[in-house]
Amino acid sequence: MAKNKLLNLDFLKLPITTELFGIKAKAVGLPPGTLVHVGKQKIEKPVISLVDYFQDHFDTRTDITIEDATAVKETETVSWINLSGIHDISLIELFGQRFGIHNLALEDILNTQHRPKVEEMEGYNLIILKMLFFDDTTQSIDVEQISLILGPHYVLTFQEKEGDVFNGVRERLQRSNGRIRQRDSDYLAYALIDSIVDSYFHILEKVGDNLAQLEEDLLSNPEQSTLGRIHHYKRQLMILRKSVWPLREVISELYKEESPLIREDTQVFLRDLYDHTIQVLDTVEIFRDTVSGLQDLYMSAVSNRMNEIMKVLTIMASIFIPLTFIAGIYGMNFEYIPELKWRWGYFAIWGVMISCIMGMLIYFKRKKWL
Amino acid sequence: MAKNKLLNLDFLKLPITTELFGIKAKAVGLPPGTLVHVGKQKIEKPVISLVDYFQDHFDTRTDITIEDATAVKETETVSWINLSGIHDISLIELFGQRFGIHNLALEDILNTQHRPKVEEMEGYNLIILKMLFFDDTTQSIDVEQISLILGPHYVLTFQEKEGDVFNGVRERLQRSNGRIRQRDSDYLAYALIDSIVDSYFHILEKVGDNLAQLEEDLLSNPEQSTLGRIHHYKRQLMILRKSVWPLREVISELYKEESPLIREDTQVFLRDLYDHTIQVLDTVEIFRDTVSGLQDLYMSAVSNRMNEIMKVLTIMASIFIPLTFIAGIYGMNFEYIPELKWRWGYFAIWGVMISCIMGMLIYFKRKKWL
Amino acid sequence: MAKNKLLNLDFLKLPITTELFGIKAKAVGLPPGTLVHVGKQKIEKPVISLVDYFQDHFDTRTDITIEDATAVKETETVSWINLSGIHDISLIELFGQRFGIHNLALEDILNTQHRPKVEEMEGYNLIILKMLFFDDTTQSIDVEQISLILGPHYVLTFQEKEGDVFNGVRERLQRSNGRIRQRDSDYLAYALIDSIVDSYFHILEKVGDNLAQLEEDLLSNPEQSTLGRIHHYKRQLMILRKSVWPLREVISELYKEESPLIREDTQVFLRDLYDHTIQVLDTVEIFRDTVSGLQDLYMSAVSNRMNEIMKVLTIMASIFIPLTFIAGIYGMNFEYIPELKWRWGYFAIWGVMISCIMGMLIYFKRKKWL
Amino acid sequence: MAKNKLLNLDFLKLPITTELFGIKAKAVGLPPGTLVHVGKQKIEKPVISLVDYFQDHFDTRTDITIEDATAVKETETVSWINLSGIHDISLIELFGQRFGIHNLALEDILNTQHRPKVEEMEGYNLIILKMLFFDDTTQSIDVEQISLILGPHYVLTFQEKEGDVFNGVRERLQRSNGRIRQRDSDYLAYALIDSIVDSYFHILEKVGDNLAQLEEDLLSNPEQSTLGRIHHYKRQLMILRKSVWPLREVISELYKEESPLIREDTQVFLRDLYDHTIQVLDTVEIFRDTVSGLQDLYMSAVSNRMNEIMKVLTIMASIFIPLTFIAGIYGMNFEYIPELKWRWGYFAIWGVMISCIMGMLIYFKRKKWL
Amino acid sequence: MAKNKLLNLDFLKLPITTELFGIKAKAVGLPPGTLVHVGKQKIEKPVISLVDYFQDHFDTRTDITIEDATAVKETETVSWINLSGIHDISLIELFGQRFGIHNLALEDILNTQHRPKVEEMEGYNLIILKMLFFDDTTQSIDVEQISLILGPHYVLTFQEKEGDVFNGVRERLQRSNGRIRQRDSDYLAYALIDSIVDSYFHILEKVGDNLAQLEEDLLSNPEQSTLGRIHHYKRQLMILRKSVWPLREVISELYKEESPLIREDTQVFLRDLYDHTIQVLDTVEIFRDTVSGLQDLYMSAVSNRMNEIMKVLTIMASIFIPLTFIAGIYGMNFEYIPELKWRWGYFAIWGVMISCIMGMLIYFKRKKWL
């Protein structure tokens, strides 16, 4: 339809509410700590996997039962138990019972719209973060919530679906010589968070490339769809910002916290992580500035184009309207119009007209309209 | 009328003063603590209701007298006394006397335009909050003030009219096995505030849905009434913000306050509530950004449409004005115009004209105006 | 004149410098503490009035001498001495000597452009505030400075002219049973400040009504003078803000100050007053948002109107220019134009023209321009 | 030239770099504390003048040598030594040696682009401020740096050229009865700074008058040069702000500093000065708001004018293009056009045309375009 | 191409991602402290150079080996070891081992996109800064990262390529009488940082000159490419700001830090440096304001130009369209048009037409359109 083409933003029809704003749809009046899964079910069946290691010991298992997972809790080795798929509330409840997690914490884990935060609780720390993935097809950012429970000698991670940014960590765990095998669960938690923050750089890189492309397109051919894309990236940056902004606070709290679970020699790594987080934030802010600069450019391009259009109209009208008038004069049927009888009248009038055209052209040239 | 259609905002004619800005109309010079009801009377007759419970004990009564209400104050059981309808000043005064509430606190309760706040007073805490309801017909937010007096073993609530967001709490009270029955009045107050904050998520969800709809309409058919709707939601968000922004402070004060009335094991719930409040605030801010983004989009659409209109005009004028001139030339009545005598002059001139049209079309095509 | 009508802001010709910006015109190099009256003389002759009371004692006198005023200073009763008209420097100096007020304080009292502030000095507190009056004729806010000296058992007030917002306080003082008669000068000062803040609500109410009217006018008939009114209210809000913003600080300082002059049981009233001040500030900010929202609306209305105008032009030109061309074609004087000889040529051409009109109308209809 | 007239800002051609931005052009790599004069030489020969006083003693000398200046340093009387012209580096170095001033302080004194600041050093305080002068011819603000060294019983001032705002202070010093003669160098320094801040009020008054004039012109005749003036004042306010903003910090530091050089009885004056500084800042901010409000008004005036222009065009075109078409119809040369034969055809067509005009006029009247 | 000319920003085609946003491209999952060079290799072979000095001792060598560099570490003389070219990871690792630098610090040094920062570590301080160079050809700012390791009696500097802003420091080191030869490594580090900050003034000066030029061009001939240049400088200022903003924090941390490596007599120099940094920041902010002011001016110029264009069109159309209509009237072929028979009809009609023209001209004159 003609109307649609005005902005051409068809591909933007995202459901704002659920994807962007993340509104918790918990029924009013449910007692706090009631376990309700907020969000979509993204995996068919929850899968528990385990990595158990310490120094020379290394063991990895997938699709284990909750009992297996609980068994390793008490051992002296470091255990990383990951649950992919959090829609099964009874399973989450079981985790809560076995690992002694407060119901309010479980509620936060289940609410996939939760703001990133860290909370020190009795015997463990709860850390809620967002993993971001850039979907090249829709050029938009997918958000997946990940919750970490950092306990003594174990880390629990809760993901919405399979597939994460932790493959690097898994490889390092497998290698027997890495520093990570020498250290405790706090370092493992750090390594996981570090992977998440690192993955933000990839998102930023992709968004940056897209913005560069957008700018190039804007400069070479400012179409109307460009505005749609600007609007699109503005929103992507909003999502990004919403996920990244609280991160600063999270890392800084972790870093300053006097938790017995976090050793001193991990602090220096957290401080380094904090630096990275600041860099991510800086870049997001610069991207936002850039996008709004592009929007200004676009609006200027529209104004310039309007000027262009009006110039064409004005030039055409200014040249031909007077000429038409002159022609009209000698199209009149007065009985006595002396010029009409002149032998060279017709050619003389052509001369006049051409002079008019010349005059106008010189005028427009001077005004730099041509 | 034609004028009106320019913006088409008829449905917006809200009385700004009373609904949005909530200006206290207390007469100048009244002594402070003078009880004046500020706001509209929203219920015919005030109704007092009571829920009295503790562990196995549970009792609920509606439409009781003030004496009944006072009677339960001294008991060891937890009492929730609710008054719907606060226009009856003498009744409020009675409450003040029976429960030992300072006149300034009563004045605040009666002033339905008061800013959300918490104030620790001798023997009780005063908490003023706003309940929000989304009216689907007018697509606007209704605000109702609710004041809580949190005393030892009792909670008083003052509402402007019947109908609230506490049904969930009432149900949980009725069930004998809930945690709420084990705890004191501070937990009850928390549960009530939690219900209010939870209800904000519903408002946000509805506003979000409406914004999504608005965006879709804007993209598919940017009418002039769209601007009216943008303006409307901007104002709704202003109302929302005004109610929600002070909430952060309120909850944080409650959370940090060293009040003897608030036990330590309720603190963890308040902290959780604080997290929710922050999420509400975040979402309101994102909605505001979204609305102003939509306004930008609308203005761009208007500019683009202007370009569109001008293009049509320019194309039509640029093609036909020169042609009219050519026709005018050969409409002149000079005695000697050689071309007029030519056998195929008329067709030749058609040729010239069609070439002109073609030339212009190619020119416009190149400029991508077609 | 035609030009003037473009914006039609004639009624706005305020002298910016003196009324809005309040620039102190003290001669450079005068020693600090030199008494100079900055501002206009607003009353012919200064008038001193006195209210002297305590518990059962009550006495009120107008147009007394400075000696009478000094006499009551030493008594145990509470005295409120008011001076209307501060242009008589020698009188102010006398006050300074009799009541032991520092010259710098007197200088501030005389400078009617001073910023609201509170300052604790030896033996007394200086409080400078602004009384605001809304002038319905010019729809603008008049500012009058009022200075309070709060001493032990007495309050001095300095006003620029007669007429204030304290009639309520006077009535309460007259009644023998009020709380105010039981209390000391600190409560009197509080009551006076409270009256001033209360009067701001009246200003806000009037400004709110005017904004509502402005919005309604803007929606029903966006004239060019509307912009003038928007600009006008913007400036009124600037004045309001300038007066109200420092108030927050003033009240909060009074409230937190450990001054021996302010008793503990007055603190709770000051805290209440602080709440009111915050509400005033909130409302001013919301008004500012509203005004800038109205300005956006106005600009959109102008853009829409431009679109409207251009549409009319484009439709008229697009329909008639091609038709004129067609008529021009058959107005040519070529000897051989076959169509001219056809019997129904004239009617055929009418058919063609009507088809053209129809085509254009359908085209515009589709584009929703009609 | 035609182009230039578009904005007509010729008088604005200030050298941005040197006047506005004050970039220090010190050669890279010079050791810190190297004395380089940054700025223009504004006086031919440096002039040292001296005012030496205490209680009954008073002595003033101009054009003295550095030795004379050093001589009074040790005396118990208060000495104010002023140097006008700071381009002579060796002289400044001598001052440094004689008065024991650190090279870094001298470097700051010589750098006329330095930010206003106060720095407590061993035995003296360095205060750097800006004197502002309003040049009525160019309507712009001239900035001159002034540095104060406050030592025990002496004050050194370094000015770029002769002519300052201290004449009032000099007169007060001369009078034997003033407070200033009773006090020490800290009060002198205060008096000098007070004179500078007072002179800002004069600048503000002039800028305010100019803004009022600008507004009046904008309302009565919004020419294109108006925008140039708006831009001009925007920049003047930038200069003003840059000079005044750090002042707040300077005065507040002086006021709070526990320097042995500043006596307690001077503190109350500094506090008063602080109030004045805040007022200057407030006014500058209000001026900035005002200027940007004027810019909005101007842009609206431009939009309105465009509407005006388009209306004229649309009205003219809408009335005459259809008429021309009608005339064109009957200018066609078809053999059979029945109307042409009618006796009153010509007058009938006039009737039709006049009806058209009337119709259009009524239509435009209804749209309020006329 | 025609389209391109609309904005004419060809020279702006910078790769946004790498140059502006500096996104770290470290592979996800690499263990922290893994040494990866992030950035381009800017030099073929790393070059180590050494300056070794103390009081009378001075020695300078270029292109030495890592062993030579390590040798001087233990001596009591101050050693400045500079490495140009950081792409050789094994070399960096060697440095780490020999000088006991933590792997995380090495990682930061290798990441040329790191944010400026200072970090106190065991036995040394890591300082990361940016050197800026202004490339006159592209009128853009090149950023080079420089990292300093400040240890006891030695300073290591890591540069991306040869060529820096330290020649002044080198010269001062060579001279035997300078203060720098008397002091320890902390002063050397200060001198290096001071050189970097000084060089920012040069950049600012060049940007300022370019902005002045841009303004002049904008005023004399606002072409479309002007907008491109505005956009370009906006981005340059973004780069500048990103490099300079964290500097404030860095210097302030150095200044306040209680590091044993920084002596008290160096503190005063750091405080001076801090002042310079603030001045750089102020200037960058003013430049940003200036650029956005220029953008406003440009947009106004575009609007004014549009008005200009529309005026020409309106004047031409308003004058000639009615005339053409009049001519059209008498071009009609009605059998009975009395005027056509009049002897002087033709001349009379010329009179009418000239009156029309005059009327319109007077009308436009009055409207000040001419």
Q: For residue range E64-113, list pLDDT tens digits in order.
A: 999 888 888 888 899 999 999 998 889 999 999 999 999 889 988 998 88
Q: Tens digits of per-residue pLDDT, C241-282?
A: 888 888 888 998 888 877 888 888 888 889 889 988 888 888
| pLDDT above 60: residue A15 | no
| pLDDT above 80: residue E26 | no
**CB contact residues (below 8 A), chain E span 317-356, against chain B:** 331
- Separation between Cα atoms, residue D192 and residue C204, nearest integer Å: 42
Percent over 90 (pLDDT), chain A? 29
Of E205, E305, E317, the CB nearest to D316: E317
**Residue keyed to tokens 């880390």:** A155
Q: Tens digits of per-residue pLDDT, A104-155?
A: 899 889 988 888 999 888 889 999 999 999 888 888 888 899 999 999 999 9
| pLDDT above 90: residue C192 | yes
DSSP 8-state symbol, B87: -
∠ CA A79-A82-A83, nearest 5°, is 145
**Residue keyed to tokens 């208007």:** B302
Give me the total of CB pairs closer than 8 Å, taking one residue from chain C and one from chain D: 199
Q: Tens digits of per-residue pLDDT, B180-211?
A: 888 899 999 999 999 999 889 888 888 888 88
Nearest to A192 by CA among A336, A52, A276, A80: A80
Q: Rounded mean pLDDT of E39-58? A: 88
When scoring C193, C329, C368 by the number of chain B Cβ atoms within 10 A, the one with the most, hence best to mutate, is C329
pLDDT score for C11: 37
If pLDDT is split at 50, 70 and 90, which confidence band does C178 have?
confident
B324 → chain D, closest CA residue: D328
If pLDDT is split at 50, 70 and 90, which confidence band does C1 have?
very low
The CA distance from C34 to the nearest CA of chain B, in Å, is 36
What token pair was written down for B269? Answer: 């719930």
Distances (CA, A) of C47 to A290, C91, C161, C166, E51: 64, 11, 9, 16, 83
**CB contact residues (below 8 A), chain D span 146-175, against chain C:** 165-169, 171-172
Q: Which stretches within chain A are classed as H helix? A: 2-5, 66-73, 89-99, 103-110, 167-174, 185-220, 224-256, 264-329, 338-341, 345-366
Binary contact (A367, D2; C-beta < 8 A): yes
Beta bridge partners, B81, equal B50, B156
- Separation between Cα atoms, residue C314 and residue C322, nearest integer Å: 12
Nearest to E46 by CA among E66, E72, E26, E71: E66
Give the residue with greater pLDDT, A154 vs E257.
A154
**CB contact residues (below 8 A), chain B span 238-267, against chain C:** 238, 242
Q: Tens digits of per-residue pLDDT, B284-327?
A: 888 888 888 888 888 888 888 888 888 999 999 999 999 999 99
pLDDT score for C120: 87
What token pair was written down for A322? Answer: 């007077």
- Separation between Cα atoms, residue C39 and residue A265, nearest integer Å: 68
DSSP assignments along E280-344, one per residue: HHHHHHHHHHHHHHHHHHHHHHHHHHHHHHHHHHHHHHHHHHHHHHHHHHTT---S--HHHHSTT
Strands (E), B183-261: none
Q: Tens digits of per-residue pLDDT, E274-293?
A: 988 988 888 888 888 888 88
Contacts of E190 in chain D (CB under 8 A): 32
Q: Are C18 and C38 in contact (CB under 8 A)?
A: no
- Separation between Cα atoms, residue A320 and residue A316, nearest integer Å: 6
- Separation between Cα atoms, residue E39 and residue E36, nearest integer Å: 10
Distances (CA, A) of B332 to B327, C16, E119, E267: 9, 64, 90, 93
If pLDDT is split at 50, 70 and 90, which confidence band does B224 have?
low
Instruction: Flag whether residue D15 sits within 8 Å of chain A, measured between CB atoms.
Output: no
- Separation between Cα atoms, residue C146 and residue C130, nearest integer Å: 6
Binary contact (E15, A310; C-beta < 8 A): no
Q: How many residues does chain B have?
A: 370
What is the rounded end-to-end Cα distance, in angstroms, of chain B?
35
Nearest to A151 by CA among A180, A114, A188, A112: A188
Q: Rounded mean pLDDT of E32-41? A: 79
Residue B352 identity: V
Binary contact (B7, C208; C-beta < 8 A): no
Beta bridge partners, A51, equal A60, A80
C345 → chain D, closest CA residue: D334
E201-235 b/e (C-beta count within 10 Å ≥ 16 → b): bbbbbbbbebbbebbeebbeebebbbbbbbbbbbb
One pLDDT digit (tens) per residue for chain D, 370 residues: 333 333 333 333 344 444 444 445 444 456 777 788 877 888 888 999 999 998 889 999 998 998 888 888 888 899 999 999 998 889 999 999 999 999 889 988 998 888 899 988 888 999 999 999 988 888 888 889 999 999 999 999 999 988 888 988 898 888 877 788 888 999 999 999 999 998 898 888 888 888 888 888 887 776 767 778 888 888 888 888 888 888 888 998 888 877 888 888 888 889 889 988 988 888 888 888 888 888 888 888 888 888 888 899 999 999 999 999 999 999 888 888 888 888 888 889 999 999 999 999 999 998 888 7
- Separation between Cα atoms, residue C222 and residue C303, nearest integer Å: 12
pLDDT score for D34: 79
The CA distance from C277 to the nearest CA of chain B, in Å, is 11
What token pair was written down for A255? Answer: 């870093």
Q: Rounded mean pLDDT of C98-120? A: 89
| pLDDT above 60: residue E24 | no
DSSP assignments along A292-330, one per residue: HHHHHHHHHHHHHHHHHHHHHHHHHHHHHHHHHHHHHHT
Strands C47-54 and B140-151: unpaired
| pLDDT above 70: residue A6 | no
pLDDT score for E51: 93
The CA distance from B341 to the nearest CA of chain D, in Å, is 16
The sign one gets for the Cα dihedral E191, E197, E202, E203 is positive
Binary contact (A9, B221; C-beta < 8 A): no
C366 → chain A, closest CA residue: A2
Q: Which residues contact E325 (CB under 8 A, 6 or more apart)?
A: D320, D323, D324, D327
Binary contact (B3, D368; C-beta < 8 A): yes
What token pair was written down for A339? Answer: 């010029």
